[in-house]
Structure 1
Amino acid sequence: MIGLLREALEAHGGLDRWRRLGSVRATLVSGGELFAAKGLPQDPTPREMTVRLHEEHASVAPFGAPGRRTDFTPGRIAVENADGVVVAERMEPRRAFRHHVLETPWDPLDRAYFNGYALWTYLTTPFLLAMPGFEVEEIEPWREGHQVWPGLRATFPAAIASHSTRQDFYFGPDRLLRRHDYHVDIAGGFAAAQYVHDIVEADGIRLPTRRRAYRRDDDLRAIPDPVMVSIDLSDIRFS
């Protein structure tokens, strides 16, 4: 294992602790220009996000109406009632985004798919990089003001749904995550730089509670306006 990855895993709580946990729940408030551009502006209602840690599965509730929730895996997205009755469903949901550009409208299942893979990625970072099938290499560090953040580039396995196949992760001197770069393939492939803040410890795991994603230019610099996606997490509970 690459030394930087080992240090990052340890800084975020350690693999031994991570492997003893199975899932995480958190209160989620999200927003940003991306959803408005897709015709689905996000309201500020708090929702509960549930993620399995060692397989790609996620759910958020309520979704669309009280008593409804999403059920996400890479090969299926669905909206269900509280009793598990399926309200809407799409198999192989990634196919629905072929030929999408940034301005292409999303339907609720598109939004649910994005939410599922994105929050699964965020709530399992950096530990997902130690899962089978991930290829990780060290890259040139990013200079943020007077700080130098060393970086890792991960190539995601085909079985994992996420923003893009290659994603970059940058860590501070304490080896905690500071920035996450990727392309949003299902929205025209625009380049994003996501900054993370307000790291907390929950059940022995350290993770950011505030994320802000921006478009980035050819020099990898974030374009500060507008905020494309905002995510605030609270009441994080692992089990």
Structure 2
Amino acid sequence: MTAPHRTVDIHIVDDDADVRDGLAWLFDSRGYATRAWASGAALLEAARALHGDWGEAVVLLDMRMEPLSGPVTFEQLKALGCPWPVLFLTGHGDVGSAVEAVKNGAWDFLEKPFQDNMLVDRIEQAMQAVRARTDAERELQRLRQALASLSPREREVLDELIRGHYNKNIAEHLGITARTVEFHRANIFEKMGVESAIELAHQLGRLAPMGASK
């Protein structure tokens, strides 16, 4: 069976060349796209070069590296605003540090020695989270663009709709006919991709933290 097309990169970060090569072979053989880095500094340099255009990726990060350890690399990735899920590979003596890293926002950790299938499963779970987040971000962007495309009058009608007002009341408030309200209402629903005022309010609620529905 042919492996499905993968669009999420796996960044493998380990200062042991044999480990890097072994992990790259494992994921390449499963149809994943990988990039290998010999140090945390190398990964950070590549991340900075993206200038915030992160794309979709997951990081597999060794705990013990020199000169930048895995946890230090992770903290610097966070400081850059990098959203990639990070899964730590740790020896028994570093489990405590790995647990702290997870508390601080890392995706997960896996203790060595690990089973290949378990590692692949954990990475796939992280990838699913990346895809879900990307889909959610795309939908929010679509909603922002749809909201921005409304005319001033459509925005007035929208504000009345989400307050629960009926067409007749909206017409009276805005000094227009009920038929004109119906026309604007239909345009709003089409542009926003909704079928009811309740659905419209729900979608606008997703944008509320950014003040888009004001």
* TM-score of the pair, normalised by structure 2: 0.27
Structure number with bigger Rg = 2
Structure having greater relative contact order (Cα 8 Å, sep ≥ 6): 1
- Give TM-score, length-normalised by structure 1: 0.25
Higher strand share: 1
